[in-house]
Amino acid sequence: MGELLKEIYALECSHIDPEVRISAEKLGNVLDDDFFEFGSSGGLIKRSDYKEDHQLSPDPMEIKFFDMHELGPDAVLTTYQVHNRNTGRLTNRSSIWKKRENGWKLFFHQGTVSAGDVFN
Protein backbone atom coordinates (compact mmCIF):
# COMPACT_ATOMS: atom_id res chain seq x y z
CA MET A 1 0.00 0.00 0.00
CA GLY A 2 1.48 3.37 -1.02
CA GLU A 3 2.08 6.12 1.51
CA LEU A 4 -0.71 8.36 0.18
CA LEU A 5 -3.17 5.46 0.18
CA LYS A 6 -2.24 4.66 3.81
CA GLU A 7 -2.68 8.30 4.83
CA ILE A 8 -6.07 8.69 3.16
CA TYR A 9 -7.28 5.31 4.48
CA ALA A 10 -6.34 6.41 8.01
CA LEU A 11 -8.28 9.65 7.50
CA GLU A 12 -11.35 7.73 6.29
CA CYS A 13 -11.08 5.49 9.35
CA SER A 14 -10.93 8.58 11.57
CA HIS A 15 -14.05 9.93 9.85
CA ILE A 16 -16.04 6.88 11.02
CA ASP A 17 -14.35 6.57 14.43
CA PRO A 18 -17.01 6.84 17.19
CA GLU A 19 -14.86 9.29 19.21
CA VAL A 20 -14.55 11.59 16.21
CA ARG A 21 -18.20 11.23 15.16
CA ILE A 22 -19.52 12.41 18.55
CA SER A 23 -17.17 15.40 18.81
CA ALA A 24 -17.90 18.52 16.76
CA GLU A 25 -14.32 19.69 17.42
CA LYS A 26 -12.65 16.43 16.32
CA LEU A 27 -14.92 16.12 13.30
CA GLY A 28 -14.14 19.72 12.40
CA ASN A 29 -10.44 18.83 12.28
CA VAL A 30 -11.18 16.32 9.51
CA LEU A 31 -13.61 18.43 7.45
CA ASP A 32 -12.65 21.04 4.87
CA ASP A 33 -14.03 24.55 5.39
CA ASP A 34 -16.15 24.02 2.23
CA PHE A 35 -17.27 20.48 3.16
CA PHE A 36 -20.64 19.22 1.97
CA GLU A 37 -22.28 15.80 1.96
CA PHE A 38 -25.20 13.95 0.46
CA GLY A 39 -26.17 11.74 3.39
CA SER A 40 -27.63 8.25 3.19
CA SER A 41 -30.96 9.88 4.09
CA GLY A 42 -30.76 11.90 0.87
CA GLY A 43 -30.26 15.21 2.65
CA LEU A 44 -27.62 17.86 1.99
CA ILE A 45 -25.31 18.45 4.95
CA LYS A 46 -22.68 21.19 5.23
CA ARG A 47 -19.81 21.68 7.65
CA SER A 48 -21.79 24.38 9.45
CA ASP A 49 -24.45 21.77 10.29
CA TYR A 50 -22.00 20.02 12.64
CA LYS A 51 -21.93 22.63 15.41
CA GLU A 52 -22.70 20.42 18.39
CA ASP A 53 -21.46 17.13 19.80
CA HIS A 54 -23.35 13.85 19.36
CA GLN A 55 -24.89 14.69 15.97
CA LEU A 56 -23.64 11.50 14.29
CA SER A 57 -24.16 7.89 15.27
CA PRO A 58 -21.36 6.53 17.48
CA ASP A 59 -21.99 2.97 16.21
CA PRO A 60 -18.83 0.97 15.45
CA MET A 61 -18.25 0.69 11.71
CA GLU A 62 -15.95 -1.29 9.45
CA ILE A 63 -14.58 -0.20 6.06
CA LYS A 64 -14.65 -2.80 3.29
CA PHE A 65 -13.54 -2.71 -0.36
CA PHE A 66 -11.53 0.51 0.06
CA ASP A 67 -10.15 2.05 -3.13
CA MET A 68 -8.56 5.39 -3.97
CA HIS A 69 -8.26 7.29 -7.26
CA GLU A 70 -5.98 10.30 -7.67
CA LEU A 71 -7.84 13.18 -9.32
CA GLY A 72 -4.79 15.45 -9.39
CA PRO A 73 -1.80 16.37 -7.22
CA ASP A 74 -4.04 17.80 -4.48
CA ALA A 75 -7.25 15.76 -4.73
CA VAL A 76 -8.26 12.11 -4.37
CA LEU A 77 -11.52 10.18 -4.62
CA THR A 78 -12.16 7.25 -2.30
CA THR A 79 -14.83 4.60 -2.70
CA TYR A 80 -15.71 1.92 -0.17
CA GLN A 81 -18.47 0.21 1.73
CA VAL A 82 -19.18 0.63 5.44
CA HIS A 83 -20.68 -2.08 7.61
CA ASN A 84 -22.42 -0.76 10.73
CA ARG A 85 -21.65 -3.47 13.30
CA ASN A 86 -24.64 -2.59 15.50
CA THR A 87 -27.37 -2.41 12.86
CA GLY A 88 -25.85 -4.55 10.11
CA ARG A 89 -26.59 -1.78 7.59
CA LEU A 90 -24.29 -1.49 4.59
CA THR A 91 -23.66 1.86 2.91
CA ASN A 92 -21.68 2.61 -0.22
CA ARG A 93 -19.52 5.67 0.31
CA SER A 94 -17.45 8.06 -1.73
CA SER A 95 -15.30 10.94 -0.58
CA ILE A 96 -13.21 13.64 -2.17
CA TRP A 97 -10.20 14.71 -0.12
CA LYS A 98 -8.30 17.92 -0.90
CA LYS A 99 -4.76 18.68 0.20
CA ARG A 100 -4.65 21.98 2.07
CA GLU A 101 -1.84 23.85 3.84
CA ASN A 102 -2.79 22.04 7.07
CA GLY A 103 -3.07 18.56 5.51
CA TRP A 104 -5.71 16.50 3.74
CA LYS A 105 -9.29 17.58 4.44
CA LEU A 106 -12.61 15.94 3.59
CA PHE A 107 -14.21 18.16 0.95
CA PHE A 108 -17.14 15.99 -0.22
CA HIS A 109 -18.80 12.82 1.04
CA GLN A 110 -21.75 10.72 -0.09
CA GLY A 111 -23.37 7.73 1.57
CA THR A 112 -25.95 5.52 -0.12
CA VAL A 113 -27.70 2.59 1.56
CA SER A 114 -26.61 -0.63 -0.14
CA ALA A 115 -28.56 -3.78 -0.90
CA GLY A 116 -25.44 -5.91 -0.35
CA ASP A 117 -21.77 -6.36 -1.15
CA VAL A 118 -21.83 -4.56 -4.50
CA PHE A 119 -18.03 -4.23 -4.72
CA ASN A 120 -17.41 -7.98 -5.19
Containing structural domain, residue 40: 3-46+60-113
Q: How far apart are CA 94 and CA 77, in angstroms?
A: 7
The pTM assigned to this predicted structure is 0.87
The pLDDT value given to residue 1 = 59
pLDDT per residue over 40-74, tens digit each? 778 898 988 877 756 667 788 899 999 999 999 99
The closest alpha carbon to 90, from 51, 56, 116, 60, belongs to 116
The pLDDT value given to residue 26 = 86
Per-residue pLDDT of the chain (120 residues; tens, 9 = 90+): 599 999 999 999 998 888 877 788 888 899 999 999 998 778 898 988 877 756 667 788 899 999 999 999 999 999 999 998 888 889 999 999 999 999 999 999 999 888 766 665
- For residue 39, being part of any structural domain is answered with yes
- For residue 82, the domain's CATH number is 3.10.450.50
